[in-house]
Amino acid sequence: MSLGAGPLVFLDVDGPLIPFKARLSGPAAPFADDVGNPLLDRLDPADGRRLLALGCQLVWATTWMAEANEVISPRLGLPDLPVVDFPDGDEPAERGLHWKTADLVRWSEGRPFVWLDDEITDVDRRWIAAHHPAPALPRRVDPLVGLTATDFMTVRDWLARLSTAAG
């Protein structure tokens, strides 16, 4: 399912990109095709530039599914991104494991990845470490504030260490 060979960055929307509290900088500029969701003004267009600057393949890993490309990508200045298609299976995840975790590991096809989500726990980190053959950074983002400079610095530092280890 994955494309290319470099690291992936799996992106959740609600929490990391649309924080649950309003941002201090105030609402973003109105968007021409506003879909009536008042929370969209919590998106920070600078997040798109910061994500693209990581130099990784960005992938939507969100319940927004393909709608993320229609609604979120244009507001962040992102191109259409691949979307993880989570199955509607009735099989419950292992106890305490986030319902996305195993699907993201499968989707990555052994590639290194960063996962930015507000629901990641130590159970997910341990499961990924035990089941994923490549390095991975499951990064829990505070859903009240969304992605921060610290989150981006942590991801950039991890990618730099990954690149140094590979080179």
Handedness of CA 100, 75, 155, 159 (dihedral sign): positive
- Complete domains list, the chain, with CATH: 8-166 (3.40.50)
Flag whether pLDDT at 79 surpasses 90.
yes
Q: What is the mean pLDDT of the chain?
A: 89
Q: Which two tokens stand for residue 22?
A: 């309003």
What single string gives the DSSP state of each residue in 89-145? --PPPSTT--TTHHHHHHHHTT--EEEEESS--HHHHHHHHHH-SS-EEEEEPPTTT
Does the structure show a pLDDT above 90 at 140? yes
CA distances to 90, 138, 160 from 76, rounded to whole Å, are 34, 22, 24
Is residue 38 very low, low, confident or very high in pLDDT (cuts 50, 70, 90)?
A: confident
Q: What mean pLDDT comes out for the span 138-161?
A: 97
Furthest CA-CA distance within the chain:
47
**pLDDT score, position 145:** 95
Can you tell me the distance from the alpha carbon of 35 to that of 71, in angstroms, rounded to the nearest whole number? 8
Percent of the chain with pLDDT over 90: 75
Mean predicted confidence (pLDDT) in 104-109: 96
Q: State the average pLDDT over residues 100-114.
A: 96
Predicted local distance difference test score (pLDDT) of residue 36 = 67
76 pLDDT band, cuts 50/70/90, is: very high
Residue type, 77: G
What is residue 95's predicted lDDT score, i.e. its pLDDT?
A: 76
Statement: residue 33 has pLDDT above 70: no
pTM of the model: 0.90
